[in-house]
Amino acid sequence: MKNSTTLNSKIIAFTGLSAMIVVAWIYLVMMAGHSMPAGNMGSGANYSVGLLASMWVAMSIAMMLPTAVPMISAYMEICQTAAAKSIATVSPLVLIAGYLSVWLAFALSAAIAQVGFLQLLLLYPVPPATSQAGASLLLIAAGIYQFTGLKQACLAKCRAPLNFFFANWSDSPREIFQLGVKQGVFCLGCCWALMLVMFVTGIMDILWMVALTALMVAEKTIPNPDFLRRITGFALIAWGATLAVELI
């Protein structure tokens, strides 16, 4: 009976996960296809924090939930093993909720920052999204972050969810939610700089969203991510340096 319950919970979780990702991408494609009227593009004051937050929330769900699939699958695998031994488990939806809470906070922060940048004219409502100097600094910073110990530590945590769950296992919904939050923090530490590259490429550029999503998924899943991490870092620094040289 418990195995059947766990299987149903697994199906519900993956169905919900897939639905959230698909709906988020549909929303982003629709928003990308409907630009704001020119009259609303004059200054940051004309931008609703709520609208920008909804865009960042959709981006966070569409781009980050796919990167969390291995982590969620690992949790479900342990749940299935525990259920076979008649050990109580918590629905993976609770874990997902904890994970998403971190990215929802990031989305709200990014939206508020975007309004501030628009008001300071550091960010523009149409491509190019940032001033060239700002874009250069952001790209170089994102590239340098790829080589930091914090990036490597967070990426290592993201790539070893089984060890994390075995070490912190619980049958308490509150504690599983907290584990989801911790995994969200690890993921944020790994991917925040790459997400902010959207300020350079354009917040609603679908092709760049797909490319960055694929990059972040690859970092967390390919056998040896160090080469990809370094190549990405060098590429971002070179891109930023090129923009800086053009200003001279």
Model pLDDT for residues 125-146, shown as the tens digit of each residue: 444 445 778 889 999 999 999 9
Q: Percentage of the chain surpassing pLDDT 90? A: 59
Q: What is the mean pLDDT of residues 149-175?
A: 94
DSSP one-letter code for 40: G
Q: Is a pLDDT exceeding 70 seen at residue 122? A: no
Q: Hey, is 36 helix, strand or coil?
A: coil
| 241 class by beta-carbon count within 10 Å (0-12 exposed, 13-18 middle, 19+ buried) | middle
pTM above 0.95, yes or no: no
Residue 222 sits at φ, ψ, to 5 deg, of: -70, 155
Q: Hey, is 171 helix, strand or coil?
A: coil
Question: Angle of helix 92-119 relative to helix 173-196, nearest 10 degrees?
Answer: 40
Distance CA 199, CA 115 (A): 12
β-bridge partners, 130 = 123
Q: Is a pLDDT exceeding 50 seen at residue 43? A: no
Query: How much is the pLDDT for 62?
Result: 96
